[in-house]
Amino acid sequence: MSPPDDAERLPIDSSRMRRNFASPRVLDGDDFLAREVGRRMIERLTTVRVDAHRVLDLGCGAGGDFALLKERFGAAAICGVDAVLPRLLRAPGERAGGIARFLRRAQGPVRVNADFGALPFAAQSADVLWSNLALHWSTAPHRVLPEWSRVTRVGGLVAFSAFGPDTLQEVSAAMGPHDARRHVMPFTDMHDYGDMLVASGYTTPVVDMERLTLTYSSVAALWRDVRALGGNAMIDRAHGLRGRAYGARVAAAFEPMRDADGRFRLTFELIFAHAWKGEPRTTSSGETIVRLQRTR
């Protein structure tokens, strides 16, 4: 796969995304899905061996995965990075001098308010990069993964999860007849993530997918979860209130989707990936590195 040109960036309004995640309905929402996905990520790393001294949790939110990471990587220093300060302030750990404390391998998690696509860390300063349900919010994952590779030490590990293209397909089906605007993000395919990892300097990527279905007793409960996951941050989203009549039409559109138990469903395609940082193939000036090995 050829890396997409910057003109092909995903149509996500990053400023709106940050405002959505800073809203009380997201901050106070139930993050059970992220916790379940984090547990499944850890299961996939059960047989993976990596000498971890420094672990970055990218898009850490309120630090819900810190305990998992501490259990998996023992005495490693953990640093949570998130661009949404109100979420980050809810995470445990220190903010003052976070980067320096992380590099000194301070005990206890530290927090850094930063964009995970432009990390304030030196090259090869982390052994493990972990990201749970965050990468799909990037407008240019093909630019983010090389930045993660820059920060990962040679032989280090990157592990992430993200939503795939079938996520929230029921919302698209219900909303489509009533509004031509896109209501669900254009999630990246798992095979494209694999290609991006290799193009970014990672080796032997392992990428797989699961589908998870959640059921709801009402459309209102379904929408609460959609909003708690970040809501609609598409550039062409509708602005302003849509009114009760529009809401009633959308609710009516979901009615034929009730299952045999009378409940509404939401599908989540979960993509899991991990890979190792390979030896650099070019110098900082772009020259190809050729490694010679003595055979005798």
Q: Given this model, what pLDDT does residue 67 score?
A: 95
| Whole-number pLDDT of residue 288 | 57
Domain ranges of the chain: 10-165+186-211+270-277
Q: Residue 267: its pLDDT value, please?
A: 96
Query: What residue has token string 């009114």?
Result: 243
Give per-residue pLDDT as tens, 22-59.
998 888 888 899 999 999 999 999 999 999 999 999 99
What is the chain written as a DSSP string?
Answer: -PPPPGGG---B-HHHHHHHHHSHHHHTS--HHHHHHHHHHHHHTTT-----SEEEEET-TTTTTHHHHHHHHTT-EEEEEES-HHHHTTSSSB-TTHHHHHHTT-SS-EEEE--TTS--S-TT-EEEEEEES-GGG-S-HHHHHHHHHHHEEEEEEEEEEEE-TTTTHHHHHHHGGG-SS--S--PPPHHHHHHHHHHTTEEEEEEEEEEEEEEESSHHHHHHHHHHTT---BTT---S---HHHHHHHHHHHGGG--TTS-EEEEEEEEEEEEEEPPPSB-TTSPBP-------
Looking at residue 48, its pLDDT comes to 94
Task: Provide the β-strand partners of residue 94.
Answer: 110
What residues of the chain score a pLDDT lower than 50? 1-4, 7, 290-291
The pLDDT, as a whole number, for residue 184 is 82
pTM: 0.88
Classify residue 106 as left (phi > 0), alpha (psi -120 to 50) or beta: beta
pLDDT value at residue 186:
86
CATH architecture of 10-165+186-211+270-277: 3-Layer(aba) Sandwich (3.40)
